[in-house]
Amino acid sequence: MTSSFPFAPATSSALPESAQSVEKISRRRLKAIFSGSVGNLVEWYDWYVFSAFSLYFSASFFPSDDTTAQLLQTAGIFALGFLMRPIGGWMFGRIADKVGRKQSMTLSVLLMSLGSLLISLTPTYQTVGIVAPVMLLTARLLQGLSVGGEYGVSATYFSEMATQGRRGFYSSVLYFTLISAQLLALGVQLVLQNVLLTDAQLQDWGWRIPFVLGAVFSIVALYLRQNLDETTAFEAQREVPEEQRGSLRVLRQHPRAVLTVVGLTMGGTLAFYTFTAYMLKFLVNTAHMAKATATNVCFLSLIFFAALQPLFGSWSDKIGRRPLLLGFGLLGAVGTVPLLTALSHTTNPWLALPLLLVALTIVSGYSAINAVVKAELFPVEIRALGIGLPHALTVALFGGTAEYIALWFKGAGHESYFYWYIAGCIAISFLVFLRMPETKNASRLDADHIP
């Protein structure tokens, strides 16, 4: 028996049949993880480039002499995009559980590319008036629908493709690519800022370039996802009656798992979006750091953050998921207020960077493993829906509103209230971590019989 994989070594035909089978499965798994990761990277790039470039395009859609007011209105659009995420989590979760993970992931990346293309072509307020922000909102709603389905289905796909003893490591790929997408967005911003365009050109028309790139990147992701292998776990459960797959009625039979996802996500998503997507605006608008300097600080911190994901994921495979979550909950609840207070008072990038690295190390206790923890809570027939819907609802309420609430408190003259709000939400999640079981030792994925 000879491996059909095109890059199999020439000696593979000499291997015993069982060894060739293991080799083929391993390569199939790696190919699936890679292809899924590229699509995930592109989707999240399209999502985060909106936040990264809002400093430049907000004036094109919301004319005002007040920068904070412009950012507040743009953050409102950002938050409204999150309102579509629960619908996307429900819709794409049902597709993934009923039709297949592959089909759902392919459709979501197609929808995201349409949103990016629409933003790149939207005229300014000065040209078409109120139509401009309406078009921006429409595009963002399409992206919200797409990314709402992306998380749950990708978390399911990576977890089901992983080997039993390395689920934490393989599932950390989800946030590794998610953070890498932010790096890509900031990298494009750095090149445009420092090499290709002036600040005035970026404000005028250059902000459209990253959205055009996102639409182009999506073509590659679409091709890769069309050639994905379906997971063995999904194929094995095709005998389950269709009315039970992706069913809200069946999901209601797992209330503890659903509430665990909500509690787990609440503090984690708020901390994640604060120290990643919102941090660039925070350093510019609160700490009064130059835009280019703040971009450099965020870029370097995200490189560090991305590198931590597989390390923390592997660590969870050895010691369990719960200790990492407890560490995040305790340190996040205690450390958020002093960290953000210190960041708000420094314009020195060499002081801001280590503070941000400490914060992101704490957040890694959540980000690296939350996907696998959620996957381990649900049976295969409702896994994508079980992860996607409650996660998307919670992210919409807490992660998606983070920037808006932060800027609202700032506009009201009480910015520090936002710091305490984050700490309080993480403390609530900490209470959930105290009561939840160790999912590594009682994983629903073990019932899937993944080879």
User: What fold characterizes domain 29-228+252-448?
Assistant: Growth Hormone; Chain: A; (1.20.1250)
Of 99, 43, 29, the residue nearest 220 (C-alpha)? 43
Q: What is the pLDDT of residues 224-280, one digit of tens each?
A: 777 777 777 777 776 766 666 767 788 888 888 899 999 999 999 999 989 988 898
- pLDDT for residue 234: 75
Of 129, 126, 155, nearest to 36 by C-alpha is: 155
Specify the pLDDT at position 309: 94
Query: Around 421, how many Cα atoms within 13 Å sit in the side-chain half-sphere?
Result: 18
**Average of per-residue pLDDT values in the chain:** 81
Say what the pTM is: 0.79
Question: CA 113, CA 216: separation in Å to the nearest integer?
Answer: 8
Which residues of the chain register pLDDT less than 50?
Answer: 1-23, 25, 449-451
Q: How many CB atoms neighbour CB 438 within 10 A?
A: 15
Burial 124-152 (b: 16+ CB within 10 A, else e): bbeeeeeebbebbbebbbbbbbbbbbbbb
Inter-helix orientation angle 291-319/173-191, to 10°: 170
Helix axes 173-191, 131-161, angle to 10 degrees: 140
Contact 160, 233 (CB under 8 A): yes
What are the structural domain ranges in the chain? 29-228+252-448
Distance CA 196, CA 206 (A): 9
